[in-house]
Amino acid sequence: MRPSRTPRGFRLVLCPVDFSAHARRALRYAAALAHDSGGRIVVLFVQDPLLLAAAARIHTEQAFASTVDKELRRFVATSLAHSGFAPKSIDYRVGRGAPAATIDATARALRCDLIVMGTHGLSGVKRLFFGSTTRAVLRRASRPVFAVPKLDRTRRHHAPRLDTWAGTRVIAPVDWNAGHEADVRAAVDVARRFHTTLLLLHVVPLTIPPPWFRAHPERYDRVRTRHASERLARLASKFGQGVRISYRAVLGDPADEIAAVAADGRASLIVMTLRPGELWGATRGAIAYHVLCEGVSPVLALPLGWRAARVRKKAGTAGRG
């Protein structure tokens, strides 16, 4: 056993799957992230109560459990064929119950460093409800969540390579909440870990006056945008050691503008912080999920108070799987 040579990464990655093509893609991202850290994957299938009820009519519980286990292993093997990720670095779990609660409970029980999941999966009786489940996981997650969006047919999405999956740019939306410097510090650490550049982005919400208001709110919005750009410049200067940081302030709807900037800049990852009363006053996870629905880039959602140093310490002391 030899320690990881880099301080990067997530050592134990939980990846819920539902046997869909989108889950297959999320699993490849999980393998890339675990490989980058010399870590392991736990693949989780959550059995839907409706599926269990239907199976009980034609199978014994033991026979059905055996079938699920075989199919889960087959799905993983075909998904990661030729990826270079060692089978011995994969564990398998089957749960039952409400998907989001089961995913969160499993992540807590195993002390996983990261949850990787898709946003869309199968429909009908076999589904894991990936859309609503991802939203629910973001709302309650105690661990970082790496969420993979549905494929956008207007853009080309390739299966990530294990060595260079992170691409060249990470985008970090910044709000002026009390913890915004901690958010930037976490985003800088992610960019450093994946050897990418970082774009700090602030979206200035439009001023929408009542019809009788006769002033010119667009002038005020221009001033707010300029001030936001100046604040971002100071943040880039303060936290830019070892990472190439650029910044940009734009005007508009936060979720729409984050997705648009990510698409224009070909961002490979969007890093966002989850907090009660999230960025720009939205509920926890709402803007992150909205961005995911645009199908632009994966989103790494970090719980409030998450510190990369915790992962860094593990990476320096744990042996490779």
Q: Is the pLDDT of residue 13 over 90?
A: yes
Q: Is the pLDDT of residue 150 over 80?
A: no
pLDDT at 245: 96
> Mean pLDDT, to the nearest integer, of 280-301?
84
Residue 44: strand pairing partners: 16, 93
In order of 36, 102, 313, the CA distances from 320 in angstroms are 11, 27, 14
pLDDT tens per residue across span 119-143: 865 444 344 344 578 888 998 888 9
Lowest-pLDDT choice from 76-80, 184-188, 256-260, 265-269: 265-269
Query: Coil, strand, or helix at residue 208?
Result: coil
In whole angstroms, give the CA distance from residue 12 to residue 109.
Answer: 12
Say if CB 168 and CB 141 are below 8 A apart. no
pLDDT at 312: 41
Report the candidate in 18, 71, 74 with the shortest Cα–Cα distance to residue 44.
Answer: 18
Considering the entire predicted model, what is its pTM? 0.83
